[in-house]
């Protein structure tokens, strides 16, 4: 079965939602709900995009929790502001957030290319998990 032009367009665009935070999440959910009974192609891409959105959200929470502990220490003792531990933690956090953002951007671009091209797509690592959780 080949995807129609509308399916290919929406199958590619749904992945952009990963980059647009809560608005993107709403877009992905609306597409999934509207097209689940109509198009397995769009629903499949929407499920994968939702999975990446959730994984990216959780990863940002974990990184923020790990590197945010330095902020709590400063609130208790402002002298720690200039300690090496604080600066190192913040730099590690910035590096992790940057690397994660670049990685997600690359994954989204690759998924969009597949979506616009009419091909099925599963993200590495989380794709099979999403497919097993989000069965029709």
pLDDT tens digit sequence for 59-88: 988 888 877 655 555 555 555 555 556 666
pLDDT tens digit sequence for 38-67: 999 999 999 999 999 999 999 988 888 877
pLDDT of 89 over the 80 cut: no
pLDDT tens digit sequence for 95-111: 888 899 999 999 999 99
Assign 3-class secondary structure to the chain. Answer: CCCCHHHHHHHHHHHHHHHHHHHHHHHHHHHHHHHCCCCHHHHHHHHHHHHHHHHHHHHHHHHHHHHHHHHHHHHHCHHHHHCHHHHHHHHHHHHHHHHHHHHHHHHHHHHHHHHHCCCCCCCCCCHHHHHHHCCC
pTM of the shown model: 0.82
């Amino acid at each position: 079965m080949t995807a129609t032009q509308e399916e290919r367009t929406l199958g590619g665009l749904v992945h952009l939602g990963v980059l647009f935070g809560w608005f993107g999440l709403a877009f992905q959910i609306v597409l999934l709900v509207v097209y689940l009974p109509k198009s397995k192609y769009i629903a499949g891409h929407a499920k994968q995009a939702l999975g990446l959105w959730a994984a990216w959200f959780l990863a940002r929470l974990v990184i923020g929790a790990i590197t945010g502990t330095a902020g709590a220490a400063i609130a208790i003792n402002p002298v720690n502001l200039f300690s090496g531990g604080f600066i190192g933690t913040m730099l590690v956090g910035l590096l992790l957030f940057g690397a994660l953002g670049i990685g997600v951007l690359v994954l989204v671009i690759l998924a969009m290319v597949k979506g616009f091209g009419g091909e099925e797509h599963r993200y590495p690592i989380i794709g099979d998990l999403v497919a097993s959780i989000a069965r029709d």
